[in-house]
């Protein structure tokens, strides 16, 4: 895995008065104000359709807010040049809800994609990727393509791809949705381990058990607004 | 984390699925375009060489029409004209054509067995020095000094037509080539647009994983550039076979005398795969970069 870059001063992610609406309709997210400090670990919860995925997509700069300001790694995303996006995105590992694996690539090449895009050479990352795939239980399936993998295996592969570059920020959308309880715990341990090494983690989930087991703070979306809840369930 | 590291791993697979490149219809269209472009090129080269040959031939000679005086035979007048011209600087060989040769030249228009009393002008052919040819004025001056009633035709009228015809052939070939290049670029742009739209999922993943626009455009550039180079090779090969058959059937004079194909005319076809690949690569890159700017 590549060495993590120097941490930026200030929050990794900062939302100030952010609102989001689609096609001129009412805002589905409104007045979002929060900071993710470097090395923090948060969960986002909320009912289906509450806007968890939209929030993550705004962090990823795949969606632009209709108002407010988002700062990423100390950079105001509204003033970013297009050419600056790739370098910022490479600092973010993303587990998509729909996984978005590339069906024509095998598991190894899928997992290695962020390293390849960052310009790394096969000899430099081959051992790391193989080790990571073995760790998520895909050591024997690295030559299989996504259509040949089960739903749970695909999910683990998507997680491997998100963490392989040891990103500064990991955002995951329902990362344990298709895995059994034991694998969910293993995945949580992987996220915790990455967090311990300095990665800021933000996970959107419905898995209350995972949230409770982690003991990490929760941001709950309800009615388009965000409430910060402590790990013990009390409103902060 | 622990686990066995692979001893060896094959090179990474292409990020664009290989099957996208096997669009038979696209390869066929580009092959046909290259085939037409190559035939146009061979024709232009042959036409240009023919025009150049005619030009050289006409520029290197002049024809003098001699009208005999009242007390002079046509042969004597032609001989005097030849003598006068032989001394002009820039004139090589001079030959007074015999009556039979002059009649033979007129045969296509007047037929055989011309009447004896028909006044046929006598012709003197003049070969000019290739480097410093004599001018029509200097030859006319020499003829006047020798009191020979004659008209010098230095073929300048024909030369203009030949030059115009050569220029027209070249312009037509350039126009055809330009149209074909534009058509090929448009076809590749269309295919790139379709490819980007069909692979929107892949492009989105690459973007969000931190790929630069130039990196993604390079995937399509390489894909279509390579495909067009292969199509160019096939198109040029087919054109070379057709032109070669024309050369073999027609011999040195060619199938058509106006387009005598030489083996050397086929050499420029070697550049077709490179040119096709370059045009396709530029078109694919430009289109991809333009479309990617519209994406998030």
Please answer yes or no on whether A139 and B4 come within 8 Å at the CB atom: yes
Distance CA B189, CA B184 (A): 8
Share of chain B above pLDDT 90, in %: 19
Are A112 and A162 within 8 A, CB to CB?
no
Per-residue confidence (pLDDT) for residue A8, from 0 to 100:
63
More confident residue, B124 or B20: B124
Domain enclosing residue A164, as ranges: 39-61+86-229
Distance CA A106, CA A145 (A): 4
Name the B residues in 276-295 with CB < 8 Å from any A CB.
Answer: 293
Distance CA B91, CA A74 (A): 88
> Mean pLDDT for chain A?
88
* Residue B237 Cα, gap to closest chain A Cα (Å): 33
Nearest-CA neighbor of A170 among A158, A154, A186?
Answer: A158
Distance CA B140, CA A89 (A): 85
Per-residue confidence (pLDDT) for residue A235, from 0 to 100:
38
For chain B, strand residue ranges (E) read: 61-67, 91-96, 122-128, 149-153
User: What does the block give as tokens for A156?
Assistant: 């683990």
Residues of chain A predicted below pLDDT 50:
1-5, 7, 232-236
Are B128 and B61 within 8 A, CB to CB?
yes
Nearest-CA neighbor of A96 among A185, A203, A194?
Answer: A203
DSSP, res A82: G
Per-residue confidence (pLDDT) for residue A68, from 0 to 100:
94
Nearest-CA neighbor of A71 among A88, A46, A95, A94?
Answer: A88
User: Does A71 fall in a domain?
Assistant: no
Per-residue confidence (pLDDT) for residue A134, from 0 to 100:
92
Distance CA B237, CA B255 (A): 20
Q: How many CB atoms lie within 10 A of CB A92?
A: 27
Q: How many domains does chain A have?
A: 1
User: Does A164 fall in a domain?
Assistant: yes
Residue A181 belongs to a domain with what CATH number?
3.40.50.300
More confident residue, B3 or A82: A82
Per-residue confidence (pLDDT) for residue A3, from 0 to 100:
47
User: Does A145 fall in a domain?
Assistant: yes
Q: How many CB atoms lie within 10 A of CB B25?
A: 8
Per-residue confidence (pLDDT) for residue B11, from 0 to 100:
87
Per-residue pLDDT, averaged over B150-178, amounts to 81
Per-residue confidence (pLDDT) for residue A231, from 0 to 100:
57
Encode pLDDT of A82-105 as tens digits. Answer: 888 899 999 999 999 888 999 999
In Å, how far are B244, B251, B258, B274 from B254, measured between CA atoms? Answer: 10, 5, 8, 28
Q: Which residue of B has its CA nearest to A102?
A: B202
Per-residue confidence (pLDDT) for residue A236, from 0 to 100:
36
Which of B30-34, B129-133, B136-140 bottoms out in mean pLDDT, i.e. has the lowest? B129-133
In Å, how far are A89, B23, B24, B219 from A165, measured between CA atoms? Answer: 12, 35, 39, 22
Are B150 and B143 within 8 A, CB to CB?
yes
For the ranges A108-122, B23-37, B193-207, B238-252, the maximum mean pLDDT occurs at A108-122
Share of chain B above pLDDT 70, in %: 93
Per-residue confidence (pLDDT) for residue A97, from 0 to 100:
86
Distance CA A141, CA A133 (A): 8
Q: Work out the pLDDT band at B254, boundaries 50, 70, 90.
A: low
Q: How many CB atoms lie within 10 A of CB B211?
A: 25
Nearest-CA neighbor of B246 among B270, B266, B273, B269?
Answer: B266
Per-residue pLDDT, averaged over B13-37, amounts to 83
User: Does A72 fall in a domain?
Assistant: no
Which of A64, A102, A109 is opposite residue B202, by nearest beta carbon? A102
Nearest-CA neighbor of A97 among A174, A149, A155?
Answer: A174
Please answer yes or no on whether B213 and A105 come within 8 Å at the CB atom: no
Q: Is B21 on the interface with A (CB under 8 A)?
A: no
> Mean pLDDT for chain B?
83
User: Does A129 fall in a domain?
Assistant: yes
Please tell me whether the overall predicted TM-score, pTM, comes out greater than 0.80 for this model. no
Please answer yes or no on whether A100 and B204 come within 8 Å at the CB atom: yes
Query: What residues in A contact B199, CB-CB < 8 Å?
Result: none
Please answer yes or no on whether A131 and B1 come within 8 Å at the CB atom: yes
* Residue B195 Cα, gap to closest chain A Cα (Å): 15
Distance CA B264, CA B50 (A): 14
Residue B64 has pLDDT above 50, yes or no: yes
Q: Which of A81, A100, A137 to mutate to test the interface with B (most CBs of B within 10 A)?
A: A100
Q: What is the ipTM of this complex?
A: 0.83
3-state DSSP assignment of residue B295: coil
Distance CA B44, CA B175 (A): 11
For the ranges B47-51, B85-89, B271-275, the maximum mean pLDDT occurs at B271-275
Q: Work out the pLDDT band at B121, boundaries 50, 70, 90.
A: confident
Contacts by residues B75-82 (CB-CB < 8 Å, ≥ 24 positions apart): B75/B99, B75/B122, B77/B122, B77/B148, B77/B149, B78/B122, B78/B123, B78/B124, B80/B146, B80/B148, B81/B124, B81/B143, B81/B146, B81/B148, B81/B150, B82/B124
Encode pLDDT of B93-111 as tens digits. Answer: 888 888 777 777 777 777 7
Q: Is B12 on the interface with A (CB under 8 A)?
A: yes
Q: Is B10 on the interface with A (CB under 8 A)?
A: no
């Amino acid at each position: 895995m590549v060495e993590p870059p120097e941490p930026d001063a200030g929050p990794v992610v900062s939302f100030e008065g952010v609102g989001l609406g689609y096609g001129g309709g009412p805002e589905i997210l409104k007045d979002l104000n929060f900071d993710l400090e470097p090395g923090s670990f948060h969960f986002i919860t909320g009912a289906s359709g509450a806007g968890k995925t939209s929030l993550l997509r705004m962090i990823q700069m795949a969606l632009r807010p209709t108002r407010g300001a988002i700062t990423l790694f100390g950079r105001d995303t509204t003033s970013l040049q297009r050419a600056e996006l790739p370098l910022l995105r490479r600092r973010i590992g993303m587990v998509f809800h729909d996984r978005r694996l590339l069906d024509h690539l095998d598991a190894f090449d899928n997992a290695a994609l962020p390293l390849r895009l960052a310009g790394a050479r096969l000899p430099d990352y081959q051992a790391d990727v193989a080790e990571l795939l073995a760790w998520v239980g895909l050591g024997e399936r690295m030559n299989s393509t996504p259509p040949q993998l089960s739903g749970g295996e695909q999910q683990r592969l998507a997680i491997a791809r998100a963490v392989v570059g040891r990103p500064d920020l990991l955002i995951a959308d329902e990362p344990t949705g298709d895995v059994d309880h034991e694998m969910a715990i293993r995945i949580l341990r992987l996220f915790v381990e990455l967090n311990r090494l300095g990665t800021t983690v933000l996970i959107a989930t419905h898995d209350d058990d995972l949230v409770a087991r982690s003991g990490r703070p929760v941001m709950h979306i309800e009615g388009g607004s965000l409430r910060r809840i402590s790990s013990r369930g009390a409103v902060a | 984390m622990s686990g066995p590291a692979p001893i060896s791993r094959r090179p990474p697979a292409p990020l664009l699925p290989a099957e996208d490149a096997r669009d038979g219809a696209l390869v066929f269209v580009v092959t046909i375009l290259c085939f037409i472009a190559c035939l146009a090129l061979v024709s232009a080269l042959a036409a240009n060489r023919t025009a150049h040959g005619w030009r050289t031939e006409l520029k290197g000679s002049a024809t003098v029409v001699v009208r005999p005086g009242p007390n002079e035979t046509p042969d004597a007048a032609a001989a005097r004209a030849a003598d006068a011209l032989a001394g002009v600087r820039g004139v090589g060989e001079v030959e007074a054509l015999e009556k039979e040769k002059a009649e033979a030249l007129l045969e296509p228009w007047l037929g055989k067995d011309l009447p004896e009393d028909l006044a046929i002008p006598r012709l003197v052919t003049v070969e000019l020095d290739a480097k410093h040819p004599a001018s029509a004025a200097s030859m006319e001056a020499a003829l006047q000094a020798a009191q020979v009633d004659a008209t010098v035709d230095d073929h300048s009228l024909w030369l203009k037509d030949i030059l115009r015809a050569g220029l027209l052939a070249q312009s037509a070939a350039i126009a055809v080539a330009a149209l074909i290049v534009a058509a090929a670029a448009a076809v590749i742009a269309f295919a790139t647009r379709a490819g980007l739209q069909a692979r929107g999922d892949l492009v989105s993943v690459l973007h969000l994983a931190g790929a630069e626009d130039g990196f993604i455009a390079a995937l399509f550039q390489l894909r279509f550039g390579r495909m067009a180079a292969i199509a160019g090779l096939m198109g040029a090969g087919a054109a070379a076979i057709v032109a070669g058959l024309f050369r073999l059937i027609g011999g040195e004079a060619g199938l058509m005398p106006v387009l005598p194909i030489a083996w050397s005319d086929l050499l420029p076809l070697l550049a077709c795969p490179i040119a096709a690949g370059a045009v396709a690569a530029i078109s694919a890159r430009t289109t991809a970069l333009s479309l990617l700017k519209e994406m998030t």
